[in-house]
Amino acid sequence: MARYQIILAYDGSGFFGSQRQATAPTVQSKLEKALYRLGWQGSSVLLAGRTDSGVHASGQVAAFDMQWNHAPDDLLKALNSNLPAEMSVSAVKPVRDDFHPRFDAVSRRYRYRIYCQPVRDPLRERYAWRQWPLLNGGALQDAAKFLIGKHDFAAFGTPPRPGNSTVRAVTEAVWRSCPGKVPGTVQDGQDVLELDEWYFEVSADAFLYHMVRRLVYVQVAVGQGRFPAQVVSDLLEGRSSKLPAGLAPANGLTLVEVTYVE
């Protein structure tokens, strides 16, 4: 018997989150079903973190104990043969017996994708939040800078358990852009490439429930000129309770990486 760590990717569109539920399809239930087909006799796999309904992952981490008399690469192939098309395992390795993907993690990284178009794009809508008008990149970056460091993020989310700390340490918060064609942007008779697509990447020791999606919503409000960037600092420091009401939709969010001390 050995404990295995796997890196898991999934399209969350058709799942009711990552955590097992009694009647709804989830990432955990599909993974466990694939393991049972391979002779696994456990009761529950361990996950690095919970993702909401509709949230995707390219770097979710899971662990389980299993008697496997073949190489880890054979386990990887066997799992992928039994998982649904919306899921895949990119890496498998044995780890120490007490390894826990959630409690041993030192940081997590999420990416949120936005595209700017006046009408929906069916080829991007599934994995990104459509916004219009265009976002001001400078304002987005100004807002993100306030997030770096250790802060009380109570204004942006709730702890996994009532009464737990809402303080988190953010080590990276940055917006990256990709140019694209936006209708109506023409100069000298030629289309002008605007910043049509944005990615918000944020890393922290841990995250509150809905924290990333709330952070994105507030920063988008700043990027559209509805609030100054200072509102982020005011909310973190408790100087203001005026939070732009709303939550960025789940489909734009991806859990990219979970890191551990080697």
The CA-based dihedral angle spanning residues 27, 31, 32, 38, taken in that order and rounded to the nearest 10 degrees: 170
Which token pair is 171? Answer: 């080590």
Q: Measured between alpha carbons, how far is 18 from 31 in angstroms, rounded to an integer?
A: 10
What count of other Cβ atoms lies within 10 Å of the Cβ of residue 93?
A: 12
Question: How far is the CA of 34 from the CAs of 6, 44, 48, 162, in angstroms?
Answer: 13, 12, 19, 34
Active site residue 52: yes
Report d(CA 41, CA 67) in Å as an integer: 9
Q: How far apart are CA 158 and CA 210, in angstroms?
A: 7
Alpha carbon dihedral 222, 51, 77, 106, in 10-degree steps, equals 80
Q: How far is 262 from 253, CA to CA, in rounded Å? A: 27
Contact 41, 238 (CB under 8 A): no
Annotated active-site residue in 52, 152, 205, 234:
52
Catalytic residue IDs: 52
